[in-house]
């Protein structure tokens, strides 16, 4: 789908210029009520001027009003904010094409839970890009004798963990030079891997992939193992202690795990006692603003207890 | 000749009264149909969390009335061209088809609720939908209650006007 269709027809030429990717990959557009609009392309920051062009001069930048942001949000929600209630509450919207809009405003709490977000005055458009073939260099590390190894991708935020995971899922699912196609179960709590829109992944996750979308990881892992019997389970951004425990249980069921975690090195795995079942750790980093595969560490596998 | 003239004048006046009452009857039928569509819409919204354009398509396919066809058309346009403005599409469609039956204010009040902008959140939007449904219900009840009394009055005025005209002409 043409991403331009998500934006108002009345300002077509403005958004056409903003979304122009001739000079590189557009990663983010940040709009704040009453403040200058920014966009991020090829890791560089630009202001957006009133015509939708990139500029370095602050005084030329377009300032969006709160009303304009509201109208834009309403349109992105197809004039139906109620239909995106849960997503708005979680702070983001997934759009057709897998693009995401992060939102921020005044949070309304009820009995300790987020009821809704009102007065949304900050929008962050994160443009979805799938880099097919990104996992090519890591495939030899992920496979052993045609089988998939329990693998963890470790990196600081913004280094391409999810993008790498997405391509790994696709390649494992479709099959590749290192192994035949496997059934992959994906637990996609925040629709980041598949970019699901109305239940359908907008990113190519391969032909043998089932996605449990919008479900808490812990619950999702249990569900998908029970319902879809995957050979490989993919999870993004492990965090809570409970999630690590669930991973531990999942791999006991004979499912191979591909997961990601925030961090700089394998020390994090030691903390969680997870180096015992992950066989391979792939490390990512950022060099001169560009995400890069730093290397891999072979971890010693012990028998599960 | 005079008799024929009297009959023609009387028929004309009563015909005019009949036409006026038919317009009111169509207004009632239209609002009643819209009320049914809104009931369906509230169900779709509350239980299915369907977006408005999808709602329009689904319900438009169920209701073959004029309004059903209008919302179907708007829904299909919005699904095909999400960049279009729902407010404008609805306004054009409703004004184009309902101008003869309803005043501009009535069209805005009863049929254009989805186009309210400035909803602060989803709760406010649902609230507006519910409130609009109530407005339509109340308007419909008032019109129905008014209908019988109005019918007697309009036909009486028609007959009286005919008699006065006949007397004047004779």
Could you write out the DSSP letters of every residue in A209-240?
A: EEEEESS-HHHHHHHHHHHH--SEEEES---S
Q: Is B167 on the interface with A (CB under 8 A)?
A: no
Low-confidence ranges of chain B (pLDDT < 50): none
Q: Do B49 and A83 touch (CB under 8 A)?
A: yes
Whether B49 and chain A come into contact, CB under 8 Å, resolves to yes
Pairwise CB contact (< 8 Å): A12 & B126: no
| Chain A residues with beta carbon closer than 8 angstroms to that of B123 | 82, 116
The shortest CB-CB distance from B114 to any of A10, A79, A83 is to A79
Q: At what angle do helices B66-80 and B86-98 cross, to 10 degrees?
A: 150
Asked if pLDDT for residue A235 goes beyond 70, the answer is: yes
Contacts of B118 in chain A (CB under 8 A): 67, 70
Q: Does B50 touch chain A (CB under 8 A)?
A: yes
Q: Mean pLDDT over residues A138-144, rounded?
A: 95
Chain A to chain B Cβ contacts (< 8 Å): 73
A6 and B83 within 8 Å at the Cβ level: the answer is yes
Distance CA A253, CA B72 (A): 50
Residue A50's CB is within 10 A of a number of other CB atoms, namely 12
Tell the burial category of B72 from Cβ atoms under 10 Å away from its Cβ (0-12, 13-18, 19+): buried
pLDDT in tens, A251-302: 888 899 999 999 888 887 777 776 678 899 999 988 876 788 999 998 865 4
Mean per-residue pLDDT for A91-110?
88
In a 3-state reduction of DSSP, which class is residue A266? coil
Q: Determine, for residues A12 and B123 on separate chains, whether the beta-carbon distance falls below 8 Å.
A: no
Q: Which of A8, A82, A108 sits opposite B85 (nearest CB)?
A: A8
Which of A16, A22, A25 lies closest to A51 in space, CA to CA? A16
Q: Of A215-219, A231-235, B65-69, B112-116, give the range with the top mean pLDDT.
A: A231-235
8 Å CB contact of A5 and B120: no
The DSSP code sequence of B62-86 is H--SHHHHHHHHHHHHHHH-TTS-H
* Yes or no, beta carbons of B117 and A74 under 8 Å apart: yes
In this prediction, does ipTM exceed 0.90?
no
pLDDT at position A288 is: 75
Residue A175: phi and psi, rounded to 5, are 95, 150
The chain A residue lying nearest B87, using CA atoms, is A79
Instruction: Say whether A79 and B82 touch across the interface (CB within 8 A).
Output: no
Cα separation, A14 vs A52, whole angstroms:
5
- Asked if B107 reaches chain A (Cβ–Cβ under 8 Å), the answer is no
């Amino acid at each position: 789908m043409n991403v331009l269709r998500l934006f108002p027809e009345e300002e077509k030429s403005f958004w056409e210029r903003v979304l122009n990717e001739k000079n590189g990959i557009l990663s983010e557009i940040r709009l704040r009520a009453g403040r200058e609009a920014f966009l991020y392309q090829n890791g560089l920051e630009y202001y957006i001027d009133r015509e939708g062009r990139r500029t370095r001069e602050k005084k030329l930048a377009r300032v969006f009003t709160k009303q304009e942001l509201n109208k834009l949000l309403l349109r992105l929600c197809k004039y139906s904010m109620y239909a995106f209630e849960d997503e708005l509450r979680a702070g983001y919207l997934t759009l057709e094409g897998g693009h995401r809009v992060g939102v921020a405003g005044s949070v309304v709490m009820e009995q300790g839970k987020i009821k809704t977000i009102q007065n949304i005055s900050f929008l962050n458009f994160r443009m979805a890009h799938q880099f097919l073939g990104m996992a090519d260099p890591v495939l030899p590390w992920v496979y052993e004798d045609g089988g998939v190894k329990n693998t963890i991708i470790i990196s600081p935020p913004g280094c391409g963990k999810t993008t790498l995971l997405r391509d790994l899922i696709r390649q494992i699912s479709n099959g590749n030079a290192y192994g035949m196609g496997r059934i992959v179960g994906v637990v996609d709590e925040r629709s980041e891997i598949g970019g699901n829109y109305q239940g359908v992944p907008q990113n190519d996750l391969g032909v043998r992939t089932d996605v449990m979308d919008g479900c808490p990881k812990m619950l999702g892992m249990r569900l998908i193992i029970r319902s879809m019997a995957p050979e490989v389970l993919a999870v993004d951004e492990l965090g809570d202690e409970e999630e690590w425990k669930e991973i531990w249980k999942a791999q006991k069921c004979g499912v191979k795990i591909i997961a990601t975690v925030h961090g700089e090195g394998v020390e994090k795995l030691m903390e969680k006692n997870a180096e015992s079942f992950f066989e391979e750790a792939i490390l990512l980093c950022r060099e001169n603003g560009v995400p890069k595969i730093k290397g891999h560490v072979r971890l010693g596998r012990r028998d599960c207890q | 000749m005079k008799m024929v003239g009297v009959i023609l004048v009387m028929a004309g006046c009563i015909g005019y009264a009949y036409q006026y009452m038919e317009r009111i009857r169509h207004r009632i039928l239209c609002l009643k149909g819209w009320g049914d569509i809104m009931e369906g819409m509230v169900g779709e919204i509350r239980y299915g969390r369907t977006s408005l354009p999808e709602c329009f398509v689904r319900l438009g396919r169920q209701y073959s009335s004029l309004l059903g066809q209008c919302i179907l058309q708007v829904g299909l346009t919005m699904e095909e061209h999400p960049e279009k403005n729902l407010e404008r599409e609805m306004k054009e469609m409703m004004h184009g088809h309902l101008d003869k039956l309803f005043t501009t204010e009535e069209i805005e009040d009863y049929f254009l609720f989805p186009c309210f902008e400035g909803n602060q959140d989803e709760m406010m939007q649902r609230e507006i939908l519910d409130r609009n449904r109530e407005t339509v219900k109340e308007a419909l009840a008032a019109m129905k209650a008014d209908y019988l009394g109005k019918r007697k009055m309009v036909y009486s005025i028609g007959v009286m006007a005919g008699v006065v005209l006949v007397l004047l002409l004779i």
